[in-house]
Structure 1
Amino acid sequence: MYNNLRITGLASPFDTEEMVGKLMETEKVKLNRVEQDKQLLVWKREAYNDLNKDFANFILNTRKEFGLTTTTSTGVMVSNSYEKLTWVKSATSSNESVGTVSTTAKAMSGSYNVEVEQLAEGVKMASSSNITVEGGTKDNLASQFGLNEGDVIKFSIDTKNGTKEFEFTGSQSINDVVKTINNAKVEVGEGDNKKEVSLGVRAVYDANIDRFFFQTEDTGKEAELSIKADDEGSKKFINGLKLNHDGNAYVIGEKYNGQNAIINFDGAKGIEIGSNQFTINGMDFNIKSKGSFTTTVDTDIDAFYEKIEKFVEEYNKLVEKSNLLLTQKKNRSYQPLTADQKKEMDKKDIELWEEKAKSGVLRSDELISRTMRNSRTWMYENIEGVEGSFKHLTEIGISTEKFSQGSLGGKLSIDEIKLKEAIRKDADGVLELLFKSPDYGKGELEGVTSYKSDRELSSEQLQAKRKQSGIVTRLYDNLILGMQDIINKSGIGDDSNLYRNVKSNMLIDFVTKHSSISMIDKDVMKLESKIDDLNVYLFEKENHYYSKFAAMEKALSRMNQQSMWLMQQFSN
């Protein structure tokens, strides 16, 4: 609102400022109403975005808790990724000094005998005796190895990753050699796949014992190491390291390989593996020494139950918040405050007022209602194509809570005894019921891949996908659809990265089809334009009132002057 310096009330007994102010209060009613409408939209946008963040965090946090970290760009879990879950089965080793074991859901329950005949090793070399020549110092290579001052040391190292050439002068030190070798990189791959990787060898010089150590980073037969040098000065340096491999002096130019681990796993004898960490039948082994141990694998019923229980608790929190927003009554006695009203209140009173004024901004909202309604419906449908014992949520002891007055329902409850019995009976079947992926590329989903967004599917394909998906998979899919609807309605706020973590291409439609402007944003911009127009109108209206009063003042002033002239005439 504009404000000009005005001098009024000089010729009349009226308080012009007060009178114009009262007249403008009536005129400002419409502006106040539009500004209140705008504020309600802003609050509605904030409430949408707040709930959408809860949806996103629910998906991300429960994925992480389950260990379902591998998803496609559309937010879909990679097929059968639940087989890699580490909390389903537990495994123990009878002799952890020989080997330890952990397991995934894929492992079969039972006991297995493991015998370690040989550990995997890389290529190891070490100085057989002190490397500093008699009378030499460790200050530089020339002194330490008895080289001529002008000698340039050139050699190459070959590993499974590639070949790297090195060059040093006599003035450099053995520590320079160690640092350069350890930082060496080689290029692997071709074209767009070309990248730099470590040469794959580690060097150490221990000055206290005056010995040099060489070792490949990799283990197994594929690990290789060869050092080549041509000129005499370079050969003198390499030989001066006095490297020894398996009790024999190192030969310049000769290739040395590591060794595989050799194990016997139950009836499978002589299994060769290039590492001491390996996986067999869903069990992850870490062997440490020769010897034998027995590993026992069984379903961890308590851990399994706790994962599902925590998921249900988090889902119920989401349902509770959504239901609260949908049923919260609007408090029509508390409208958004005008600027003039805020001037008369302190900060705390404003906060308390606005808290009540925000109540019910999403009452009976269709987007949220549809999302939560679909979640309930989809979870209660049978799953098609299962191989396990269960195809409905109630078969494992999970159902919806009993209806209570004033609640929209939808929360889940767990029958602990029934769920634990289902886990004991068929743990794989419970996993399939929860996490099954659709049969992409087959039947009704022919030509459909996991990288295709649900919005690109026909209604028949979407229905087929839902029927073939596990309960958790369905829930995530439905929440992602709801999140996209809310984004189109209210925007993304400051949370674009959060949404991309849920589904990397979630914002494509919002950006390309909606130009990153939500429906509420458009409505707010229209109201802001209307507010600007009303402010111009009020400015002109206020000036109009002041001009009227100014004219009246002018007329009264003229009348006063005439009256005074007449009085002077009569007195004369």
Structure 2
Amino acid sequence: MSTMRVGGLASGMDTESIVKSLMEVEQMKVDKLKQNKTYLEWQRDDYREMNTMLLNFDQTIFDGVFRQSTFTKKTVDVSDSTALSVKNINSTSEFTGSISIEQLATGSRLVGDSGRTDIDPNTLLNSATSLNLSGTQTIRVATQGKPASEGVEISFDPTKESLNDVINKINSKTGVSMYFDQATGKIGVSADETGAGNISLEDSTGTLFSSLNLTAGSTNLQTTDGNNARFTYNGLQLERSSNTVSINGVELTLKKETSGAEVTYSSTTDTDSILKEVVKFVDEYNKLIEKMGDEVKERRSKEYKPLTDMEREGLSEDEIKKWEEQARKGTLYGDNNLSSALNKMRVDIYSSVQGNSGLASLAEFGIKTSSNYLEQGKLIIDEDKLRQAISDDPNKLYETFMADGVTDAEQGIARRLRDTVKDTMGAIEQKAGKTSSGNDSFTIGRNLKNVDRQIDNWEQRLIDIEDRYWRQFTAMEKMIQQSNSQSSYIMSQFYQ
């Protein structure tokens, strides 16, 4: 129930201004809580931003130095690129070879002639403008020389499906591509894969294929069997069903027959590509530790606090932005999780990796920690030394990053770093949660809920306090009014 407010009628005081001034003092308690809430929200968001940066660094490792394919990149020279292309898949050593291509692999094909040009492939199969089929029918399709009885079985209803509907089923399920040419009434079928053998089509029930002259013995049926690729590789005669062949981790793609001539190829390490990935890793590492180091060292500015609503009203957007840049400082100052992560990552980087080939460290490859302590462990690359090390043995650098040992000393540097990043992200998530996290699931969220409760309680108290002030001033006005009335009565008695 609201209090009836009587303002200054008897006393002549500006009661509303007085109450407002009194309430401004009380409002300061709520403003302080709201400032605390704002700072907690900034802190939460800054922790989450740090986790995003850690996640991006982890992804950089995974996409780069974590993959063996990064360190097996090769530049391959081929004497006749029109006849052969060569791609390294997972060979860790250099390779050379020669090949002559006697025959390319081809796919089997069929061409049937229905003898009709009035077939509409989009009308139902039971209609006169199509094949006039009746009853549920079943067909079988086989490839690679298999008998039709071992092929894929497809059923269809001529009263519900058209020729194109059935063709779509065949194309999606059987390993062949079929096409009906309405203008000529012919239908072509080709195997999706190359290799020796033929295509077998059979009407298990019904007459679809026989109507299109696609079954064995049909009139004007043209058949072309598929062939295997035949080639001589380093003097060894080979045969494969595909024109793409993998040998010793190298992918060879046969493009044309060479009539007995040999095509030669050889590989060299793609030093530039590998170097680029390592430099990217170092750059991202340096950015991360610089950001983490700056955050844990930056102190909170006591002179700048989050602005209250009233303070904002008197400032421009630019002034607000500049103020908040200062007020937001120090949200992660001295954080134990980040400080520990920084120290652990430095150890991960400069500790040698113990393995079968002895000890290896990034310093051997020209990657060293800066001697300037102000740079917080920043990595410095001697590019000439790194380039030479990659050229000499890229696999050794890969092992230094990715060795999968039992002990921490035997673990590769990339594995160590990813473990440290994962642990740090988990600790930060417990403190600041994720965007999808409920406030009850992380520390700052629970603190925010507590502050919200205090704000709600204080805002209700402010209403009660303001009502109390008004009740007091209203009572005072009534007393003054009563006193004035009594004085007027007494004075009137003297003048009767």
The answer, yes or no, to whether TM exceeds 0.5 is yes
* Match of residue 278, structure 1, among 239, 245, 249: 245
Of 161, 179, 195, 2:168 maps to: 179
Q: Which amino acid aligns with 1:218?
A: E
In structure 1, what residue type is equivalent to 2:424?
Answer: G
Structure-1 separation of matches of 2:133 and 2:247: 56
Which residue of structure 2 lines up, in the alignment, with residue 360 of structure 1?
Answer: 330
Rounded Cα–Cα distance in structure 2 between residues aligned with 1:277 and 1:86: 23
Aligned to 1:538: 462
Q: Secondary structure at the match of 1:165?
A: strand
Measure how far apart 1:555 and its partner are. 1.5
Q: Does 1:264 align with 2:242?
A: no
Deviates more, 1:12-21 or 1:38-47: 12-21
Alignment of 1:135-150 (within 5 A): 137-139=118-120
Change (3 A) 1:360 1:523: same
How many Å separate the matches in 2 of 1:424 and 1:296? 15
8 Å CA contact retained: 2:61, 2:414? no
Over 3 Å counting, the alpha-carbon distance change for 1:361 and 1:119 in structure 2 is same
Unaligned runs of 5+ in 1: 69-81, 184-197, 247-255, 439-444, 446-463, 497-510
In structure 2, the CA distance between the partners of 1:107 and 1:293, relative to structure 1 (3 Å rule), is farther
CA change 1:145–1:558 in 2 (3 A) is closer
CA distance, structure 1, for counterparts of residue 242 and residue 446 of structure 2: 60
Query: 1: distance between equivalents of 2:318 and 2:9?
Result: 42
What's the CA shift for 1:168?
6.8
| Mapping 1:268-347, distance limit 5 Å | 269-291=236-258, 292-347=262-317
Q: Which runs of 5+ in 2 are unaligned?
A: 145-149
Cα offset for 1:346? 3.5
Partner of 1:156: 140
Distance 1:568 1:227, change over 3 A: same
Q: Secondary structure at the match of 2:353?
A: coil
Structure 2 residue aligned with 1:499:
none
Q: 1:376 aligns with which of 320, 329, 346?
A: 346
Q: Deviations over 1:282-314 (max 9, x none)?
A: 212221122332121111112211111122112
Matched, 1:132 2:115: yes
Q: Which residue of 2 aligns with 1:220?
A: 195
Residues 334 and 162 of structure 1: CA distance in aligned 2, closer, same or farther (over 3 Å)? farther
In structure 2, relative to structure 1, the CA distance for the partners of 1:324 and 1:242 (3 Å cut) is farther
User: Aligned-pair distance for 1:126?
Assistant: 2.8
Query: What is the one-letter code of the residue matched to 2:38?
Result: Q
Q: Does the aligned pair in 2 maintain the 1:125–1:245 contact within 8 Å?
A: yes
Task: Name the counterpart of 1:436.
Answer: 403
Task: Name the counterpart of 1:76.
Answer: none
Q: 1:493 aligns with which of 432, 435, 447?
A: 435
Is structure 2 residue 66 aligned with structure 1 residue 55? no
Q: Among residues 210, 220, 243, which one is paired with 2:221 in the alignment?
A: 243
Q: 1:357 to 1:143 in 2, by over 3 A?
A: closer
- Structure with higher Rg: it is 2
Among 153, 156, 174, the alignment partner of 1:199 is: 174
Query: 2:367 matched to which residue of 1?
Result: 398
In structure 2, distance between residues paired with 1:302 and 1:148? 66
In structure 1, what is the Cα distance between the partners aligned to 2:152 and 2:275? 52
Q: CA RMSD in A?
A: 3.3
Letter in 2 for 1:55: L
The amino acid of 1:36's aligned partner reads Q
Q: Secondary structure at the match of 2:360?
A: coil
Residue 249 of structure 1 corresponds to which residue in structure 2? none
In 2, Cα distance between equivalents of 1:310 and 1:22: 60
Counterparts in 2 of 1:150 and 1:27: CA distance versus 1, 3 Å: closer
Contact kept in structure 1, 2:11 and 2:477, CA below 8 Å: yes
Question: Does the Cα contact within 8 Å between 1:110 and 1:296 map onto a contact in 2?
Answer: yes
- Preserved CA contact (<8 Å) 1:123 1:224: yes
* Aligned amino acid, residue 391 of structure 1: A
Structure 1 residues 540 and 475, CA, compared in 2 at 3 Å: closer, same or farther?
A: same
Partner of 2:11: 12
Distance 1:33 1:149 in 2: 84
Shift of 1:400: 1.4
How far 1:61 moved relative to its partner?
Answer: 4.1
Q: Deviations over 1:421-449 (max 9, x none)?
A: 111221110111122233xxxxxx5xxxx
1:570 maps to which residue? 494
- 1:79 is matched with none
Report Cα offsets for 1:513-564 as digits up to 9, x if no partner.
xx96111001111111122222233222222222222222122111111111
Counterpart AA for 1:469: Q
How far, CA to CA, are the matches of 2:452 and 2:275 in structure 1?
A: 53
The equivalent residue for 2:147 is none
Q: How much has 1:150 moved relative to structure 2?
A: 6.5
CA offsets 1:471-501 (integer angstroms, 9 cap, x no match) = 222212211111111111101015x8xxxxx
Deviation at 1:151, TM superposition (A): 9.3
Cα 1:469–1:516 shift into 2, 3 Å: farther
**What is the alpha-carbon distance in structure 2 between the residues aligned to residue 94 and residue 19 of structure 1?**
96
Percent identity (aligned): 28
TM-score norm. by structure 2 comes to 0.86
| Preserved CA contact (<8 Å) 1:316 1:411 | yes
Alignment check: 8 A CA contact 1:124 1:214 kept: yes
Residue type matched to 1:243 in 2? L
Alpha-carbon distance in 2 for matches of 1:241, 1:413: 77
CA shift at 1:35, angstroms? 2.0
Mapping for residues 459-474 of structure 1, pairs under 5 Å: 464=407, 466-474=408-416
TM-aligned CA distance change 1:243 to 1:317, over 3 Å? farther
State the SS of the aligned residue for 2:199: strand
CA deviation after TM superposition for structure 1 residue 571, in Å: 1.8
**Equivalent residue of 2:422, what SS?**
helix
Letter in 1 for 2:325: E
Given residue 220 of structure 2, which amino acid in structure 1 is its aligned partner?
Answer: K
How far, CA to CA, are the matches of 1:145 and 1:374 in structure 2? 77
The one-letter amino acid of 1:163's match is V
> Following TM superposition, by how much is the alpha carbon of 1:147 offset from its aligned partner in structure 2, in angstroms?
7.1
1:441 counterpart residue number = none
Quote how far apart the aligned CAs of 1:266 are: 1.8
1:350 deviation in Å?
2.2
Q: Report how many aligned residue pairs link the two structures.
A: 481
CA distance in structure 1 between the aligned counterparts of 2:283 and 2:290, rounded to whole angstroms: 10
What one-letter code is carried by the residue in structure 1 that aligns with 2:489?
Answer: W
C-alpha distance in structure 1 between counterparts of 2:447 and 2:375, whole Å: 30
Matches within 5 A, 1:103-122: 103-122=88-107
Q: CA contact under 8 A between 2:71 and 2:395: conserved in structure 1?
A: no
1:475 matches 2:453: no
- Secondary structure, in 3 states, of the residue corresponding to 2:91? coil
Is contact 2:118-2:182 (8 Å) kept? no
